[in-house]
Amino acid sequence: MFEAVLLFREALYGALVIGVACAVLGVYVVLRRIVFVGAALAQLSSAGIGLALWLAGFGLLGSTHAHTIGTSLVVTLAGALFFGVGGGRRFLHHEATIGVTYSVAAAMGILLVAKAVTGEAHDLFLQGNILGVTRTDTLVLLAVAVPVLLLHLVVAKEFLFVSFDPETAQTLGYRVVRWNLLLYLTIGLVIAFAMQFAGVLLVFNFLVVPAVTGLLVARTYWGVFGCSICAAALAATIGFVISVPLDLPTGPAIVAVSGLLALIAWLVRRVRGE
């Protein structure tokens, strides 16, 4: 069993990096009630992957991983920019805009991949292939996740204030739109890279479920981040360890463990009577 796990240890490291980065950003995603922005950005990222593969079929873009990541990044960050400045709010409810983006991006991702002619196993790009993560991939993920997490550490109180009470923050001189934009761009950046390896289901899970677990058990704001990180790391490790010898799909196994941890957290909260 352990030999099998050791064989795929690079994939586990990659899952841990994605899990921890998404777990931190996910606290804002859940607290700000923008869960479906995370889902929509993940779908935009998949549409970006589809677009890159489709363009490659016409010779308009290279078919390397770098081209795929680059296109996905541009599309995801454009979406983050749109949501960050409150795009579409003038005419539509924010949730309606998110819903339209989510469904159209999901469909575009599938349609573009269906018409791509590069002959690769394209579905893997959309569904993710966490077991295929190599050491180089993990280093790429670290190169994105570490600066993002450091930035979040530095501007933690600013992100807290503009998320918790943007109106009051604005009266104290905070440029709320710019702070929101920065937050959304970091979320978009991490999603765009994580999507290349983990797929929509796993990325969305890491963005939401560990943070929910943290909110259920932690008693302090900073404790939520700690619990969310622990929940993500635990889910990634346990899900990975049980999926390899049991020949289960790794992504869904990690998601199932995440859900189980959230259930335990809910029970703990019930027992504590809060």
Residues in 199-238 that interact with other proteins by CB under 8 A:
215, 218-221, 223-224
* Nearest-approach distance from CB 174 to other proteins, in angstroms: 7
Residue 174 Ramachandran class (φ > 0 left, ψ -120 to 50 alpha, else beta): beta
59-67, 135-143, 159-167, 259-267 -> range binding other proteins (CB under 8 A): 159-167
How far is 53 from 30, CA to CA, in rounded Å? Answer: 32
Tokens representing 252 are 């869904």
Closer residue to other proteins in complex, CB, 139/146: 146
Closer residue to other proteins in complex, CB, 151/248: 151
How far is 131 from 65, CA to CA, in rounded Å? Answer: 16
- Interface with other proteins includes 31 (CB under 8 A)? yes
Decide: 227 and 261 in contact? Cβ < 8 Å. Answer: no
Tally Cβ neighbours within 10 Å of residue 100.
13
- Interface with other proteins includes 29 (CB under 8 A)? no
- Interface with other proteins includes 273 (CB under 8 A)? no
55-63, 104-112, 166-174, 185-193 -> range binding other proteins (CB under 8 A): 166-174
Identify the sign of the CA torsion 124, 228, 234, 262: negative
Decide: 21 and 225 in contact? Cβ < 8 Å. Answer: no
Closer residue to other proteins in complex, CB, 80/224: 224
Closer residue to other proteins in complex, CB, 50/210: 210
b (16+ CB within 10 A) / e for 115-126: ebeeeeebeebb
Binding track, positions 167-206, relative to other proteins; x by CB under 8 A: xxxxxxxx--------------------------------
Tokens representing 174 are 């905070």
Which residues of this protein are in contact with other proteins, per CB under 8 A? Answer: 31, 33, 90, 154-155, 157-158, 160-161, 164-165, 167-174, 215, 218-221, 223-224
